[in-house]
Chain A
Amino acid sequence: MPKIIVNGEEREIPKEMSVMELLKELGIQFREVGLAVAINEEVVPKSEYERRTVKEGDRVEIVHLVGGG
Protein backbone atom coordinates (compact mmCIF):
# COMPACT_ATOMS: atom_id res chain seq x y z
CA MET A 1 0.00 0.00 0.00
CA PRO A 2 1.42 3.40 -0.97
CA LYS A 3 2.74 5.52 1.85
CA ILE A 4 2.21 9.24 1.51
CA ILE A 5 2.59 12.28 3.75
CA VAL A 6 -0.59 14.26 4.27
CA ASN A 7 -0.28 17.56 6.11
CA GLY A 8 2.95 16.40 7.66
CA GLU A 9 1.57 13.04 8.84
CA GLU A 10 2.47 9.70 7.32
CA ARG A 11 -0.49 7.80 5.95
CA GLU A 12 -1.06 4.57 4.10
CA ILE A 13 -3.62 4.59 1.36
CA PRO A 14 -5.13 1.39 -0.08
CA LYS A 15 -3.91 2.17 -3.60
CA GLU A 16 -2.76 4.96 -5.84
CA MET A 17 -5.74 7.23 -6.23
CA SER A 18 -6.90 10.53 -7.62
CA VAL A 19 -6.94 13.67 -5.48
CA MET A 20 -10.73 13.46 -5.41
CA GLU A 21 -10.58 9.87 -4.15
CA LEU A 22 -8.02 10.84 -1.53
CA LEU A 23 -10.32 13.55 -0.20
CA LYS A 24 -13.09 10.99 0.09
CA GLU A 25 -10.72 8.50 1.74
CA LEU A 26 -9.81 11.13 4.34
CA GLY A 27 -13.40 12.23 4.85
CA ILE A 28 -12.77 15.73 3.57
CA GLN A 29 -15.64 17.38 1.76
CA PHE A 30 -14.76 18.75 -1.69
CA ARG A 31 -15.62 22.39 -2.10
CA GLU A 32 -15.05 24.65 -5.06
CA VAL A 33 -14.35 27.64 -2.80
CA GLY A 34 -12.52 27.15 0.48
CA LEU A 35 -10.23 24.22 -0.28
CA ALA A 36 -6.82 23.77 -1.91
CA VAL A 37 -4.49 20.84 -2.44
CA ALA A 38 -0.80 20.77 -3.29
CA ILE A 39 1.26 17.72 -4.19
CA ASN A 40 4.99 18.03 -3.61
CA GLU A 41 4.51 21.79 -3.12
CA GLU A 42 2.75 22.25 -6.44
CA VAL A 43 -0.84 23.49 -6.31
CA VAL A 44 -3.29 21.15 -8.04
CA PRO A 45 -6.11 23.04 -9.79
CA LYS A 46 -9.58 21.71 -8.93
CA SER A 47 -10.17 20.85 -12.58
CA GLU A 48 -7.45 18.19 -12.20
CA TYR A 49 -8.70 16.51 -9.03
CA GLU A 50 -10.15 13.56 -10.95
CA ARG A 51 -7.08 13.04 -13.13
CA ARG A 52 -4.15 13.79 -10.87
CA THR A 53 -2.89 10.69 -9.04
CA VAL A 54 -1.39 10.53 -5.57
CA LYS A 55 1.56 8.14 -5.56
CA GLU A 56 3.99 6.52 -3.12
CA GLY A 57 6.13 9.11 -1.36
CA ASP A 58 4.03 12.12 -2.37
CA ARG A 59 3.81 14.97 0.07
CA VAL A 60 0.25 16.23 0.04
CA GLU A 61 -0.94 19.46 1.60
CA ILE A 62 -4.67 19.97 2.05
CA VAL A 63 -5.72 23.38 3.29
CA HIS A 64 -8.92 25.25 3.91
CA LEU A 65 -9.84 28.76 4.91
CA VAL A 66 -10.14 29.48 8.60
CA GLY A 67 -10.68 32.58 10.71
CA GLY A 68 -7.72 34.94 10.61
CA GLY A 69 -6.87 38.62 10.68
Chain B
Amino acid sequence: MQDWERLLQDDYLEIAGRKFRSRLIIGSGKFKDFQQTKEVLEASGAEIITVAVRRVNITDPTKENLLDYIDPNKYLILPNTAGCYTAEEAIKTAMMAREATGINWVKLEVIGDPKTLLPDMEETYKAAKFLVKEGFVVLPYIFDDPVYAKKFEDIGCAAVMPLAAPIGSGLGLQNPYNIIFIREAVSVPVIVDAGIGSAADIPPIMELGVDAILTNTALAEAKDPIKMAVAMKYATIAGRLSYLAGRMPKRMYAVPSSPTKGVPFKG
Protein backbone atom coordinates (compact mmCIF):
# COMPACT_ATOMS: atom_id res chain seq x y z
CA MET B 1 0.00 0.00 0.00
CA GLN B 2 1.31 3.42 -0.98
CA ASP B 3 1.31 6.40 1.40
CA TRP B 4 -1.59 8.10 -0.34
CA GLU B 5 -3.63 4.92 -0.27
CA ARG B 6 -3.11 4.70 3.47
CA LEU B 7 -4.06 8.34 3.97
CA LEU B 8 -7.20 7.97 1.89
CA GLN B 9 -8.15 4.59 3.30
CA ASP B 10 -11.48 5.71 4.70
CA ASP B 11 -12.10 8.40 2.13
CA TYR B 12 -14.80 7.36 -0.32
CA LEU B 13 -16.85 9.06 -2.93
CA GLU B 14 -20.34 7.98 -2.02
CA ILE B 15 -23.22 8.45 -4.46
CA ALA B 16 -26.67 7.06 -3.70
CA GLY B 17 -25.17 4.66 -1.17
CA ARG B 18 -22.57 3.27 -3.56
CA LYS B 19 -18.96 3.78 -2.58
CA PHE B 20 -16.12 4.52 -4.96
CA ARG B 21 -12.40 4.76 -4.25
CA SER B 22 -11.61 6.98 -7.19
CA ARG B 23 -12.81 10.55 -7.39
CA LEU B 24 -12.09 10.75 -11.08
CA ILE B 25 -14.90 9.93 -13.48
CA ILE B 26 -14.16 9.70 -17.16
CA GLY B 27 -16.18 10.00 -20.32
CA SER B 28 -15.74 7.46 -23.10
CA GLY B 29 -16.26 9.73 -26.10
CA LYS B 30 -13.89 10.63 -28.93
CA PHE B 31 -11.15 8.07 -28.27
CA LYS B 32 -9.28 6.50 -31.16
CA ASP B 33 -10.95 3.13 -30.60
CA PHE B 34 -12.47 0.99 -27.86
CA GLN B 35 -9.08 -0.49 -27.01
CA GLN B 36 -7.76 2.97 -26.21
CA THR B 37 -10.89 3.76 -24.19
CA LYS B 38 -10.24 0.65 -22.13
CA GLU B 39 -6.57 1.47 -21.59
CA VAL B 40 -7.35 5.04 -20.58
CA LEU B 41 -10.00 3.82 -18.16
CA GLU B 42 -7.57 1.41 -16.54
CA ALA B 43 -4.77 3.98 -16.37
CA SER B 44 -7.03 6.62 -14.84
CA GLY B 45 -8.11 4.40 -11.96
CA ALA B 46 -11.67 5.63 -12.55
CA GLU B 47 -14.52 3.37 -11.48
CA ILE B 48 -17.25 5.27 -13.29
CA ILE B 49 -17.33 5.81 -17.03
CA THR B 50 -20.00 7.69 -18.91
CA VAL B 51 -21.50 6.49 -22.18
CA ALA B 52 -24.04 7.83 -24.66
CA VAL B 53 -27.16 6.17 -26.02
CA ARG B 54 -27.34 6.20 -29.81
CA ARG B 55 -29.21 4.52 -32.62
CA VAL B 56 -27.64 1.36 -33.99
CA ASN B 57 -26.62 1.97 -37.58
CA ILE B 58 -28.98 -0.44 -39.29
CA THR B 59 -27.33 -0.24 -42.69
CA ASP B 60 -24.08 -1.38 -41.08
CA PRO B 61 -24.73 -2.90 -37.66
CA THR B 62 -21.17 -3.18 -36.47
CA LYS B 63 -20.53 -6.16 -34.27
CA GLU B 64 -17.99 -4.37 -32.13
CA ASN B 65 -19.44 -2.84 -29.01
CA LEU B 66 -18.01 -0.71 -26.22
CA LEU B 67 -19.36 -3.26 -23.73
CA ASP B 68 -17.00 -5.87 -25.22
CA TYR B 69 -14.18 -3.76 -23.78
CA ILE B 70 -15.59 -2.49 -20.51
CA ASP B 71 -16.89 -4.93 -17.95
CA PRO B 72 -20.12 -3.60 -16.43
CA ASN B 73 -19.52 -5.74 -13.35
CA LYS B 74 -16.25 -3.99 -12.69
CA TYR B 75 -17.15 -0.41 -13.63
CA LEU B 76 -20.25 1.69 -13.22
CA ILE B 77 -21.42 2.45 -16.74
CA LEU B 78 -23.15 5.79 -16.41
CA PRO B 79 -25.34 6.63 -19.40
CA ASN B 80 -25.89 10.24 -20.33
CA THR B 81 -28.67 12.03 -22.16
CA ALA B 82 -26.27 14.08 -24.27
CA GLY B 83 -27.83 15.57 -27.37
CA CYS B 84 -31.22 16.12 -25.73
CA TYR B 85 -32.68 19.61 -25.87
CA THR B 86 -35.96 19.09 -24.01
CA ALA B 87 -37.03 17.36 -20.81
CA GLU B 88 -39.19 15.02 -22.86
CA GLU B 89 -36.29 13.87 -25.05
CA ALA B 90 -34.07 13.42 -22.01
CA ILE B 91 -36.69 11.36 -20.19
CA LYS B 92 -37.19 9.05 -23.18
CA THR B 93 -33.43 8.68 -23.57
CA ALA B 94 -33.05 7.92 -19.87
CA MET B 95 -35.69 5.19 -20.15
CA MET B 96 -33.78 3.63 -23.05
CA ALA B 97 -30.54 4.01 -21.11
CA ARG B 98 -32.02 2.16 -18.15
CA GLU B 99 -33.01 -0.74 -20.39
CA ALA B 100 -29.64 -0.72 -22.13
CA THR B 101 -27.49 -0.59 -19.01
CA GLY B 102 -29.70 -2.52 -16.63
CA ILE B 103 -29.18 0.14 -13.98
CA ASN B 104 -31.24 3.16 -13.08
CA TRP B 105 -28.43 5.74 -12.96
CA VAL B 106 -28.37 8.60 -15.40
CA LYS B 107 -26.16 11.58 -16.05
CA LEU B 108 -28.91 13.98 -17.00
CA GLU B 109 -27.96 16.47 -19.67
CA VAL B 110 -30.46 18.81 -21.30
CA ILE B 111 -28.68 21.27 -23.51
CA GLY B 112 -30.01 24.73 -24.23
CA ASP B 113 -27.68 26.01 -26.91
CA PRO B 114 -25.64 24.11 -29.51
CA LYS B 115 -22.82 26.65 -29.60
CA THR B 116 -21.96 26.69 -25.91
CA LEU B 117 -23.65 23.39 -24.96
CA LEU B 118 -24.72 25.13 -21.77
CA PRO B 119 -27.51 23.35 -19.92
CA ASP B 120 -31.14 24.42 -20.12
CA MET B 121 -31.73 24.49 -16.39
CA GLU B 122 -35.52 24.69 -16.60
CA GLU B 123 -35.76 21.62 -18.81
CA THR B 124 -33.08 19.81 -16.81
CA TYR B 125 -35.03 20.51 -13.64
CA LYS B 126 -38.29 19.22 -15.15
CA ALA B 127 -36.62 16.04 -16.36
CA ALA B 128 -34.82 15.52 -13.03
CA LYS B 129 -38.02 15.83 -11.07
CA PHE B 130 -39.76 13.27 -13.26
CA LEU B 131 -36.86 10.81 -13.32
CA VAL B 132 -36.34 10.92 -9.55
CA LYS B 133 -40.02 10.02 -9.13
CA GLU B 134 -39.50 7.15 -11.58
CA GLY B 135 -36.81 5.81 -9.26
CA PHE B 136 -33.75 6.95 -11.18
CA VAL B 137 -30.48 7.93 -9.54
CA VAL B 138 -30.19 11.32 -11.23
CA LEU B 139 -26.90 13.17 -11.63
CA PRO B 140 -27.73 16.40 -13.41
CA TYR B 141 -25.23 18.39 -15.47
CA ILE B 142 -25.90 21.96 -14.39
CA PHE B 143 -24.70 25.52 -14.70
CA ASP B 144 -22.51 26.59 -11.77
CA ASP B 145 -25.53 28.09 -10.06
CA PRO B 146 -25.64 27.51 -6.29
CA VAL B 147 -29.36 28.34 -6.05
CA TYR B 148 -30.31 25.81 -8.69
CA ALA B 149 -27.87 23.24 -7.27
CA LYS B 150 -29.81 23.35 -4.01
CA LYS B 151 -33.10 22.95 -5.89
CA PHE B 152 -31.77 19.82 -7.59
CA GLU B 153 -30.74 18.42 -4.23
CA ASP B 154 -34.16 19.22 -2.77
CA ILE B 155 -35.99 17.21 -5.43
CA GLY B 156 -33.83 14.19 -4.71
CA CYS B 157 -30.91 14.24 -7.14
CA ALA B 158 -28.09 11.98 -5.98
CA ALA B 159 -25.38 14.51 -6.88
CA VAL B 160 -24.98 17.74 -8.79
CA MET B 161 -22.57 18.21 -11.67
CA PRO B 162 -21.75 21.87 -12.18
CA LEU B 163 -19.51 22.79 -15.09
CA ALA B 164 -16.03 24.22 -14.78
CA ALA B 165 -16.36 25.68 -18.29
CA PRO B 166 -18.27 24.70 -21.46
CA ILE B 167 -18.12 21.04 -22.57
CA GLY B 168 -15.01 20.32 -24.60
CA SER B 169 -13.63 23.85 -24.14
CA GLY B 170 -10.64 22.86 -22.01
CA LEU B 171 -10.76 26.29 -20.37
CA GLY B 172 -10.48 25.00 -16.81
CA LEU B 173 -12.39 26.35 -13.82
CA GLN B 174 -13.88 29.76 -14.64
CA ASN B 175 -15.70 30.61 -11.45
CA PRO B 176 -14.21 29.08 -8.33
CA TYR B 177 -16.49 31.15 -6.09
CA ASN B 178 -19.65 29.61 -7.52
CA ILE B 179 -18.20 26.15 -6.97
CA ILE B 180 -17.41 27.08 -3.37
CA PHE B 181 -20.97 28.36 -2.94
CA ILE B 182 -22.36 25.15 -4.42
CA ARG B 183 -20.17 23.08 -2.11
CA GLU B 184 -21.59 25.01 0.82
CA ALA B 185 -25.17 24.89 -0.44
CA VAL B 186 -25.63 21.16 -0.91
CA SER B 187 -24.74 18.02 1.00
CA VAL B 188 -24.96 15.62 -1.96
CA PRO B 189 -21.73 15.04 -3.86
CA VAL B 190 -20.55 17.87 -6.10
CA ILE B 191 -18.95 16.56 -9.27
CA VAL B 192 -17.30 19.20 -11.41
CA ASP B 193 -18.02 18.22 -14.96
CA ALA B 194 -16.91 19.72 -18.26
CA GLY B 195 -14.23 22.22 -19.15
CA ILE B 196 -11.18 20.45 -17.72
CA GLY B 197 -8.21 21.05 -20.03
CA SER B 198 -5.49 18.95 -18.47
CA ALA B 199 -4.40 17.26 -15.25
CA ALA B 200 -3.16 20.63 -13.97
CA ASP B 201 -6.72 21.96 -13.84
CA ILE B 202 -7.82 19.30 -11.40
CA PRO B 203 -6.03 19.95 -8.06
CA PRO B 204 -7.26 23.54 -7.64
CA ILE B 205 -10.83 22.33 -8.13
CA MET B 206 -10.49 19.35 -5.81
CA GLU B 207 -8.92 21.68 -3.26
CA LEU B 208 -12.23 23.54 -3.05
CA GLY B 209 -13.69 20.43 -1.43
CA VAL B 210 -15.68 19.11 -4.36
CA ASP B 211 -16.22 15.37 -4.38
CA ALA B 212 -15.17 14.36 -7.86
CA ILE B 213 -14.15 15.45 -11.34
CA LEU B 214 -15.57 14.29 -14.65
CA THR B 215 -13.54 14.71 -17.80
CA ASN B 216 -13.50 13.35 -21.33
CA THR B 217 -12.13 15.65 -24.04
CA ALA B 218 -8.98 16.50 -22.07
CA LEU B 219 -8.14 12.80 -22.20
CA ALA B 220 -9.28 12.04 -25.74
CA GLU B 221 -7.53 15.07 -27.23
CA ALA B 222 -4.32 14.73 -25.24
CA LYS B 223 -1.33 13.80 -27.39
CA ASP B 224 -0.95 10.75 -25.19
CA PRO B 225 -4.27 9.89 -23.52
CA ILE B 226 -2.76 7.15 -21.34
CA LYS B 227 -0.16 9.49 -19.84
CA MET B 228 -2.84 12.12 -19.31
CA ALA B 229 -5.02 9.52 -17.58
CA VAL B 230 -2.22 8.70 -15.14
CA ALA B 231 -1.52 12.42 -14.59
CA MET B 232 -5.20 12.98 -13.87
CA LYS B 233 -5.37 10.07 -11.49
CA TYR B 234 -2.61 11.58 -9.35
CA ALA B 235 -3.88 15.13 -9.83
CA THR B 236 -7.20 14.09 -8.36
CA ILE B 237 -5.50 12.36 -5.45
CA ALA B 238 -3.22 15.39 -4.90
CA GLY B 239 -6.16 17.76 -4.91
CA ARG B 240 -8.15 15.62 -2.53
CA LEU B 241 -5.26 15.23 -0.10
CA SER B 242 -4.53 18.93 -0.29
CA TYR B 243 -8.15 19.70 0.55
CA LEU B 244 -8.09 17.29 3.48
CA ALA B 245 -4.74 18.69 4.61
CA GLY B 246 -6.18 22.23 4.64
CA ARG B 247 -4.42 25.05 2.86
CA MET B 248 -2.74 28.01 4.53
CA PRO B 249 -4.43 31.42 4.38
CA LYS B 250 -3.57 33.72 1.49
CA ARG B 251 -1.68 36.89 2.46
CA MET B 252 -0.92 40.03 0.59
CA TYR B 253 2.68 40.37 1.85
CA ALA B 254 5.58 38.05 2.44
CA VAL B 255 6.24 36.25 5.71
CA PRO B 256 9.80 34.89 6.14
CA SER B 257 10.21 31.17 6.54
CA SER B 258 13.66 31.43 8.17
CA PRO B 259 14.32 32.97 11.63
CA THR B 260 14.74 36.74 11.46
CA LYS B 261 17.01 36.68 14.53
CA GLY B 262 20.63 35.52 14.50
CA VAL B 263 21.41 36.32 10.90
CA PRO B 264 25.30 36.12 10.75
CA PHE B 265 27.48 39.24 10.26
CA LYS B 266 24.63 41.55 11.28
CA GLY B 267 25.22 44.17 13.99
Which of B10-18, B55-63, B121-129 interfaces with chain A? B55-63
Closest-by-CB residue of A relative to B53 is: A63
Number of interface residues of A (CB under 8 A): 31
Closest-by-CB residue of B relative to A11 is: B58
User: Which residues from A are CB-within-8-Å of B98?
Assistant: 43
B residues 77-104 near A (Cβ < 8 Å) are 77, 79-80, 82, 92, 95-102
- If A33-B72, A66-B51, A69-B167 touch, whether A28 touches B29 (CB-CB below 8 Å) is no
Instruction: Tell yes or no: A14 within 8 A of B by CB.
Output: no
Q: Tell me, rounded to whole Å, the shortest Cβ–Cβ distance linking B228 to chain A.
A: 15
User: Which residues from A are CB-within-8-Å of B194?
Assistant: 69
| Chain B, interface SS category | mixed
Instruction: Tell yes or no: B65 within 8 A of A by CB.
Output: yes
User: Which residues from B are CB-within-8-Å of A31?
Assistant: 65, 67
User: Which residues from A are CB-within-8-Å of B100?
Assistant: 33-36, 63-65
Which A residues have a C-beta under 8 Å from some C-beta of B?
Answer: 6-9, 11, 26-29, 31-38, 41, 43-46, 61-69
Which B residues have a C-beta under 8 Å from some C-beta of A?
Answer: 27-31, 34, 37, 50-59, 61, 63, 65-67, 72, 77, 79-80, 82, 92, 95-102, 167-168, 194, 214-217
